[in-house]
């Protein structure tokens, strides 16, 4: 075989080897001919002419950007530390290559600045309770900035923000302590009100019971016996029961009176013995 033919065959083979490119289903290729944009390469086995043409691969799957924790000022002058996640995917790969340098860094910076603006128009209470509203507003503002509607030479980024998730909103430590004290004060107040109401209801019941016991000595006696029984069930309790017969009507014990009588009786006995 002619050496020239072999040489040409080898050159053609090498040309094909270096020209054929595989673009995966989740990718798109952006082709340049002599440095000028020449179209989007779709998935499959594609031809890119060496030296004359170059291409850039672009992954069109959904991606995420984590917004690092940042301090933002609310409308009522409270510093909050907030972080979140932005979900996006590429819809026009040629614009991502032609119009944006370092897409992720620019999108992160834009999302952080827009988030500060949103929180700056809300109070602390609104910021803590309206996470869904904050996320919706941030999606809308990012998509508007990405589309670059207000620019004369419109150069949108070729992406679409699909969602935003606000993860953590941290309060200043001093404010957390103040809110904790306030919550404790409210709980203590409610506990005191509940206790006072309970004591009031109990006093009404005691008053009614006192009327019953005043009209029925048998009921009072039964209550005394029940109280003795309850005390007796307690461990390490010494109980001494004094019969009611040892007390007079005004509640004074009659036991000292009996001792005085015994002493008087002894004195009388001594006098009788002495007279004999």
- How many C-beta atoms surround the C-beta of residue 139 within 10 A? 20
pLDDT for the residue 11: 76
3-state secondary structure of 18: helix
Strand order in the sheet with 63-73: 63-73, 79-90, 159-170
Query: Which whole number is the average pLDDT over 71-81?
Result: 87
Domain extent listing, the chain: 3-59, 63-171, 173-233, 242-276
Span 261-271, pLDDT tens digits: 656 767 777 77
- CA pair distance 86, 67, nearest whole angstrom: 7
Query: Which whole number is the average pLDDT over 67-95?
Result: 90
Query: Which whole number is the average pLDDT over 110-138?
Result: 90
Instruction: Report how far apart the first and last C-alpha atoms of the chain are (Å, whole number).
Output: 174
- Taking a C-beta distance cutoff of 8 angstroms, is the pair 228, 240 a contact? no
- CA pair distance 60, 29, nearest whole angstrom: 10
Query: Which whole number is the average pLDDT over 200-210?
Result: 75
Fold of 63-171: Tetrahydropterin Synthase; Chain A (3.30.479)
Average pLDDT of the residues of the chain: 80
User: Distance of CA 222 to CAs 216, 225, 258, 272, Å?
Assistant: 10, 5, 28, 48
pLDDT for the residue 261: 60
Span 142-194, pLDDT tens digits: 998 888 766 666 778 999 999 999 988 888 777 666 666 666 667 777 778 88
- CA pair distance 149, 143, nearest whole angstrom: 10
Name, in order, each residue with C-beta under 8 angstroms of 55's C-beta and a sequence gap of 6 or more: 21, 29, 30, 31, 32, 41, 48
Span 15-55, pLDDT tens digits: 777 888 999 999 999 999 999 999 999 999 998 988 899 99
% of the chain surpassing 70 pLDDT: 74
The structure's pTM equals 0.60
């Amino acid at each position: 075989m002619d050496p020239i033919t072999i040489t040409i065959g080898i050159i053609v083979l090498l040309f094909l080897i270096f020209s054929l490119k595989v673009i995966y289903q989740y990718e798109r290729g952006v082709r340049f001919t002599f440095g000028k944009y020449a179209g989007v390469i779709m998935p499959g086995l594609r031809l890119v002419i060496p030296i004359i043409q170059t291409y850039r691969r672009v992954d069109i799957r959904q991606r995420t950007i984590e917004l690092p924790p940042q301090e933002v000022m609310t409308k009522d002058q409270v510093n909050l530390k907030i972080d979140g996640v932005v979900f996006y995917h590429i819809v026009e790969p040629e614009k991502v290559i032609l119009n944006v340098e370092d897409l992720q860094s620019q999108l992160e910076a834009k999302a952080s600045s827009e988030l500060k603006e949103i929180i700056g128009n809300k109070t602390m209470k609104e910021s803590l309770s309206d996470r869904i509203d904050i996320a919706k507003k941030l999606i809308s503002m990012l998509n508007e900035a990405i589309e670059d509607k207000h620019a004369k030479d419109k150069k949108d980024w070729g992406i679409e923000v699909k969602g935003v998730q606000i993860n953590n909103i941290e309060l200043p430590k001093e404010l957390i302590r103040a809110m904790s004290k306030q919550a404790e004060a409210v709980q203590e107040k409610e506990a005191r009100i509940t206790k006072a109401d309970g004591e009031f209801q109990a006093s009404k019941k005691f008053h009614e019971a006192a009327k019953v016991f005043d009209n029925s000595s048998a009921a009072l006696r039964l209550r005394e016996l029940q109280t003795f029984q309850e005390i007796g069930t307690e461990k390490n309790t010494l109980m001494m029961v004094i019969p009611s017969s040892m007390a007079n009507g005004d509640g004074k014990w009659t036991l000292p009176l009996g001792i005085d009588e015994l002493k008087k009786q002894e004195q009388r006995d001594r006098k009788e013995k002495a007279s004999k």
